[in-house]
Chains A and B, each alone.
Chain A
């Protein structure tokens, strides 16, 4: 009789050992998955592009009208060829404006240009947060921030 009980006890304990082993494995699997998912999201945020600029109007066709420019986290705009976004227009200063992605949103800042930087038709005098769909005017060039 005690032998029977012992055998059952042993079986329960043996099963418990394997079950515990799998429980630990499950724990590891969960933290691996969590890690993968967060890595995926971080990658999505960094790779899917922060945004693009659609060129709506460009009289000199530099940048070409109708083209979309994909943006890095920091973009300088101006008539100097060393700018990341090179704009050929007589009304654009050499170093005209900065378009930067900080934290979670876009900001545009005038770099002391002669003719100013306009957001949705309003001239800006300090760094301004941009939303997707906002229109940016630099000289005679009109561009729209898109996702």
Chain B
């Protein structure tokens, strides 16, 4: 499955180069070549290590990431970039560097993680670490576009939300795997709702409070929605109770309306969603331009490299390379191209859930469900925000958007999925632990 990719990415690079330069010249293909070689190398490392994890995960990720890299390479390179040891890297180059780091992290997790004991046994420690990161963000966070997502440590900036996401999934998986019987068995009745006894419910409430804190601390509705969605999905998978999900949704609606009344930035987002044309030149500008981009793209798209005329030297959509990368894909590749990207993401989710179904134990299964949900829901939230189905919230499109933290976290997620599926396909638990 990786071989057609070796053609796809260089083709995308040269098509956009031809379209932009107007000369019949494939243009520089170095980055595309490095990308393909990196993916093939990662694949061969897995094969040589005798890894028996899901064979489709990496090719799917490589294809989705390849489309993202083609788009990022095609945008003006000065948009983002890093200076590293006197070496100036453009946007696509920086992204490629993060692809390399992410793939390495994925391989370490997939091949090196023989035993998930340290994840399972220290779940409260992990949760504490996540909470500490949250506190750090609150104290030292850098605010950007009304959301406090970044921690700057010297020259390196990272988004703690991405790390918190994984830690949260690990904690919930550990907790649910351990207390599953208690949560499904014993019940207390409050009115028509059957709920488990309060002591077992407390950590769950703690998680919910943490999610709400994210809204306050990070001022980020998207991350909060993502975390809540992951939490409810895992709770539902573990217990099979609809009442929990219903309760969670009711709490979310209540929480959202509180947030709407309390915070300006939330109100602006919602008002933009209801009517972006009310303030076309300022608040609604981004959303309106994105809608125009989808309109220009139509069914077959403007053609790779031919969309997005700059307005007064600037790109029409702010945050195009991160939050609105899907709008860029839809404009240049049209509905069919956007559909293909979504189908690939869907296939990734499908494989992730398959890993969960085949998992050897409850913890692994819950972990796989949570991680897969995080990838799928993140895609869903940002795409729905792009097309104005829900209020826009700034989160990344996994493997497509520009951004190091997101890319690294997504690769760690895939590494964990690979590790889980490897352990479930290797015969017994004892053999898996043998040195």
Interface set of A (CB-CB < 8 Å, partner B): 5-6, 9-11, 13-14, 16-18, 20-25, 27-29, 31-32, 35
Cβ of B83 to closest chain A Cβ, rounded Å: 32
- Tell whether, in the assembled complex, residue A17 and residue B354 are in contact, meaning their CB atoms are under 8 Å apart: no
Provide the bound-state CA to CA distance between A127 and B434, in Å. 36
Q: Chain B residues in contact with chain A, CB under 8 A?
A: 1, 4-5, 7-8, 11-12, 14-15, 18-19, 22-24, 56, 59-60, 63, 67, 300-301, 303-306, 333, 336-337, 340, 343-344, 347, 350-351, 354
Complex Cα distance, B60 from A114, in Å, reads 63
A29 to B354, CA, bound (A): 15
| Pair A17/B347 contact, Cβ less than 8 Å | no
Interface of B is mostly: helix
Q: Which residue from chain A places its CB closest to the CB of B334 in the assembled complex?
A: A18
- Interchain CB contact under 8 A, A27 and B1: yes
In angstroms, Cα B60 to Cα A32, docked, is 12
* A24-B63, A35-B354 known; A14-B15 Cβ under 8 A: yes
The listed residue (B8, B14, B18, B22) touching A21 by CB distance below 8 A is B8
Residues of B contacting A27 in the complex (Cβ-Cβ under 8 angstroms) = 1, 4
Residues in chain A near residue B350, CB distance under 8 A? 32
B1: nearest residue on chain A (CB-CB)? Answer: A27
Among all A-B residue pairs, the 7 with the closest Cβ atoms: A14-B303, A13-B15, A24-B4, A21-B340, A28-B347, A20-B8, A14-B304
Residues A24 and B1 in contact, CB atoms below 8 Å apart: yes
A22 near B4: Cβ-Cβ < 8 Å: no
Q: In angstroms, how far is the closest chain A Cβ from the Cβ of B73?
A: 13
Given A14-B15, A17-B12, A17-B304, are A28 and B333 neighbors across the interface (CB < 8 Å)?
A: no
Ordered by A's residue number, 21 sampled pairs between the chains whose C-beta atoms are within 8 Å are A6-B18, A6-B23, A10-B19, A14-B19, A14-B303, A14-B306, A17-B11, A17-B12, A17-B333, A18-B337, A22-B336, A23-B4, A24-B5, A25-B343, A28-B59, A28-B60, A28-B344, A31-B56, A32-B56, A32-B347, A32-B350
